[in-house]
Structure 1
Amino acid sequence: MAKPIGIFDSGVGGTSIWKEVVRMLPFEDTIYLADSANAPYGEKPKEEILGLSVKNTEYLLEQGCKIILVACNTATTNAIDHLRSHYNVPFIGIEPAIKPAALQTRTKKVGVLATKGTLSSNLFHNTSKLYAEGITVLEQEGKGLVELIEAGRINSPEMFELLRGFLRPMLDQNIDCLVLGCTHYPYLIPVLREMLPAHVHIIDSGEAVARQTKAVLERNDLLAEKSNRPKHIFYTNAEVQVLKELVGTQATRVAHLDF
């Protein structure tokens, strides 16, 4: 089916998911919506997160999207149940990869770096309870990280200072897995690899989400034809430059949109 995959996030971070989706589904059209003017979602009340998620969803549906990826951990944990019950398309959500971390850890200590909105959600706590029995899950709110990523300041001194402060307590507790619980955070992996001991595994959800998206499209007979020449359209309600730098030449168009 030649309709696009719709993807929204509180900003540019969900492009880390988009890249995995395009890698696994190279014939699909995509429309990406970056609600950067309202980033980060993680410190907003649930009702506001829900309202923003509904607004983003309805815009993507107006563009004819056949499936929607909620490429934001906070929006998933606070809004996806509502979205699934109110709109007649499949939704794919994001949640911190607690299960693979619990399977990999040898020290039985796992760190989770996420936003306040994700860490305080019922979905996060239920997932931890389900998959992390006998595992110590050390939660760390990544306050300030999204704002620096949105500003294109990934390698700034401020970023290194924040990360050092966030990582030290978890390393002192002997974690050997660090779960990235926000779709912005995979852009920090090169920085994190510099700062973390070699034995600490960094785990994010991107590949698993792309695999699930492919499975749902197949199950619903929604895959694009292999002859399709894909178009990738990106919209943001903030400056376009950071988004352009992250998606590069694969983008068909990157544009500012008031929404």
Structure 2
Amino acid sequence: MSQLLFFDSGVGGLSIWQQVHQALPGVEAVYAMDDAAFPYGELSESVLVERVLAVFDAVTQRHDISLAVVACNTASTLVLPHLRQRFSFPVVGVVPAIKPAARLTRNGVIGLLATPGTVNRPYTHQLEADFAAGKQVLRLGSSELVTMAEAKLRGQELDIDRLADILAPWLQAPKPDTVVLGCTHFPLVKEELAKVLGSDVTLVDSGEAIARRVRSLLPAGAGNKKGGLSHLYHTASSPKGLELLRAWLQESALPEYLPLYSSS
């Protein structure tokens, strides 16, 4: 039976998986993370593309994949053409939700919170030109926040003061009233972000849009009664927090952990 594949450099893509699982509870999926190279926002383009292709090659040798989601904004801005050239199944990317943010903003000031790589890539600038013309887009890139989100998942308390330091540019005028969570890790710390930015700031991510896109690409009646995640793959030799990850997912079993690719 065919399965979906969700891919990220770490656990952030699980925020996308959860949205898709809510929309399609009977569809079975595989999750693969290249945590040996985490965080992706600091990799060169050539290295990133090489690693993503290697992980996809390894997973597709083990599973019949019907559709894949690159649940990582950084990877999506670079690797989608390479994946679509190599594989025949549909590949859905996650890009910063600038289009819906432009519709939601009341004061015309949008904050884009992402990794440094995503913030600075031409693809992101084109999204702004296409969908946020006439709006002021304030960009803030942080790899540290990605690490903080992973630490929270492992049970560590997030440092609110440090988070306020990261977000300091947006705590004074011009203050965005709508913030795009341009990294799939950031919904994991949505509560803390709201605490620092204030309840009047709308936080926007791509999860619901991706779920709708996946549903539209799958044939009617796709899935089975079981659904859920069948496998979690990782590339780090000593992945952290798998038991906490299992509890957070509320899955009864993630039966197999296999290293897929590691840098030389």
Normalised to the residue count of structure 1, the TM-score between the two structures is 0.91
Aligned position for 1:150: 150
Checking the alignment, whether the CA contact within 8 Å between 1:17 and 1:183 is kept in structure 2 is: yes
128-137 or 77-86, larger mean C-alpha shift: 77-86
CA distance in 1, matches of 2:234, 2:226: 23
Identity of aligned residues (%): 33
Shift of 1:122: 2.2
162-171 or 71-80, larger mean C-alpha shift: 162-171
Aligned position for 1:41: 40
| Residue identity matched to 2:176 | I
| Residue identity matched to 2:138 | L
| Residue identity matched to 2:4 | I
Divergent runs of 4+, >6 A: none
CA distance in 1, matches of 2:73, 2:104: 22
Shift of 1:73: 0.4
| Other structure's SS at 1:48 match | helix
| Residue identity matched to 1:165 | D
Aligned position for 2:234: 236
Which ranges of structure 2 fall in alignment gaps of 5 or more residues? Answer: none
CA distance in 1, matches of 2:161, 2:46: 32
125-134 or 115-124, larger mean C-alpha shift: 115-124
| Residue identity matched to 2:127 | T
CA distance in 1, matches of 2:244, 2:58: 22
Shift of 1:76: 0.3
Checking the alignment, whether the CA contact within 8 Å between 1:234 and 1:251 is kept in structure 2 is: no
Q: What CA RMSD, in Å, does the superposition of the two structures yield over aligned residues?
A: 1.7
Distance 1:254 1:184, change over 3 A: farther
CA distance in 2, matches of 1:104, 1:231: 32
- Kindly report which structure 2 residues correspond to 1:192-231, keeping only aligned pairs within 5 A, or say none: 192-218=193-219, 223-225=222-224, 228-231=225-228
Checking the alignment, whether the CA contact within 8 Å between 1:244 and 1:254 is kept in structure 2 is: no
Checking the alignment, whether the CA contact within 8 Å between 1:57 and 1:68 is kept in structure 2 is: no
Shift of 1:242: 4.1
Shift of 1:190: 1.1
| Other structure's SS at 1:101 match | helix
Aligned position for 1:167: 167
Distance 1:36 1:123, change over 3 A: same
Checking the alignment, whether the CA contact within 8 Å between 2:68 and 2:90 is kept in structure 1 is: yes
1:101 paired to 2:98? no
Distance 1:174 1:231, change over 3 A: closer
| Other structure's SS at 1:113 match | strand
Aligned position for 2:177: 176
Normalised to the residue count of structure 2, the TM-score between the two structures is 0.89
Aligned position for 1:128: 128
Checking the alignment, whether the CA contact within 8 Å between 1:234 and 1:255 is kept in structure 2 is: yes
Aligned position for 1:247: 249
Aligned position for 1:57: 56
Q: Number of aligned pairs?
A: 251
